[in-house]
Amino acid sequence: MRDIFEKIFGADSKPEKFFAPGRVNLIGEHTDHEGGFVFPCAIDSGIYALAARRPGKFLRLYSMNFDSEITSPFEISFDEIKEKFSERSWVNYPLGVASVLKSHGYNFDGGVDILYNGNLPGGAGLSSSAAIEVLTGKIFSELFDFNIDGVSLAKFSQEAENNFVGMNCGIMDQFAVSMGKKNHAILLNCSTLEYSYAPLELENYKIIITNSNVPHSLAGSEYNLRRQQCEAALADIKNVKKISCLCDLNFNELDEYSYSIKDSVNLKRARHAVSENARALRAYDALKAGDLDLFGRLMNASHVSLRDDYQVTVPELDTLAELAWSFPGVKGSRMTGGGFGGCTVSIVEKDSVEKFIAYLDKEYSKRTGRKATFYTISISDGARKII
Ligand code: GLA
Q: Please tell me the distance between residue 227's alpha carbon and the centre of ligand 1 in angstroms.
A: 11
**Cβ within 8 Å of residue 182, ≥6 positions away:** 379, 380, 381
Measured distance CA(188)–CA(196) in Å, rounded: 7
Atom of ligand 1 at shortest range from CA of 171? 9
Contact by Cβ (8 Å): 171, 18? no
Q: Please tell me the distance between residue 336's alpha carbon and the centre of ligand 1 in angstroms.
A: 9
Does ligand 1 lie within 6 Å of residue 28's CB atom?
no
Q: Which residue has the least CA distance to atom 10 on ligand 1?
A: 30
Q: Which residue has the least CA distance to atom 9 on ligand 1?
A: 170
Measured distance CA(220)–CA(168) in Å, rounded: 8
Q: Tally the C-alpha atoms within 13 A of residue 52's C-alpha that lie toward its C-beta.
A: 14
Q: Which residue has the least CA distance to atom 2 on ligand 1?
A: 169
Q: Please tell me the distance between residue 31's alpha carbon and the centre of ligand 1 in angstroms.
A: 8
Can you state the angle between helices 292-308 and 315-325, rounded to 10 degrees? 160
Single out the residue of 285, 115, 98 nearest to residue 196, CA to CA. Answer: 285
**Cβ within 8 Å of residue 2, ≥6 positions away:** 15, 50
What is the residue-wise DSSP string for 128-188?
A: HHHHHHHHHHHHHHHHTT----HHHHHHHHHHIIIIII-----SHHHHHHHH-BTTEEEEE
Q: Which residue has the least CA distance to atom 8 on ligand 1?
A: 169
Q: Please tell me the distance between residue 266's alpha carbon and the centre of ligand 1 in angstroms.
A: 18
Instruction: Kindly tell me the burial class for residue 220, based on how many C-beta atoms sit within 10 Å of its own C-beta (0-12, 13-18, 19 or more).
Output: middle
Regions of the chain with pLDDT less than 70: 217-219
* Alpha carbon separation from 327 to 120, 298, 331, 355 (Å, rounded): 27, 17, 9, 9
* Alpha carbon separation from 246 to 35, 37, 191, 223, 281 (Å, rounded): 7, 12, 11, 17, 15
Does ligand 1 lie within 6 Å of residue 318's CB atom?
no
Single out the residue of 111, 120, 115, 19 nearest to residue 67, CA to CA. Answer: 115
Does ligand 1 lie within 6 Å of residue 226's CB atom?
no
Q: Please tell me the distance between residue 297's alpha carbon and the centre of ligand 1 in angstroms.
A: 22
**Cβ within 8 Å of residue 195, ≥6 positions away:** 175, 179, 186, 187, 188, 189
Tally of CB atoms within 10 A around 197: 15
The strand pair at 384-386 and 195-199 is best described as unpaired
Single out the residue of 324, 299, 130 nearest to residue 212, CA to CA. Answer: 324
Single out the residue of 292, 342, 349, 294 nearest to residue 321, CA to CA. Answer: 342
Which residues on neighbouring strands pair with residue 59, listed in sequence order? 76, 112
Residue 68 is given by DSSP the state T
At 219 the pLDDT is: 64
Catalytic residue among 173, 248, 309, 318: 173
Does ligand 1 lie within 6 Å of residue 173's CB atom?
yes
Q: What is the CATH number of domain 2-199?
A: 3.30.230.10
Q: Is 149 a catalytic residue?
A: no
Does ligand 1 lie within 6 Å of residue 154's CB atom?
no
Does ligand 1 lie within 6 Å of residue 382's CB atom?
no
The strand pair at 111-118 and 58-63 is best described as parallel
Measured distance CA(211)–CA(188) in Å, rounded: 25
Does ligand 1 lie within 6 Å of residue 188's CB atom?
no
Tally of CB atoms within 10 A around 11: 9
**Ligand 1 pocket test, candidate residues 159, 172, 216, most atoms within 8 A of CB:** 172
At 104 the pLDDT is: 98
Domain regions of the chain by residue span: 2-199
pLDDT in tens, 244-291: 999 999 999 999 999 999 999 999 999 999 999 999 999 999 999 999
Q: Please tell me the distance between residue 29's alpha carbon and the centre of ligand 1 in angstroms.
A: 7
Residue 335 is given by DSSP the state E
Does ligand 1 lie within 6 Å of residue 30's CB atom?
yes
Does ligand 1 lie within 6 Å of residue 384's CB atom?
no
Measured distance CA(123)–CA(299) in Å, rounded: 22
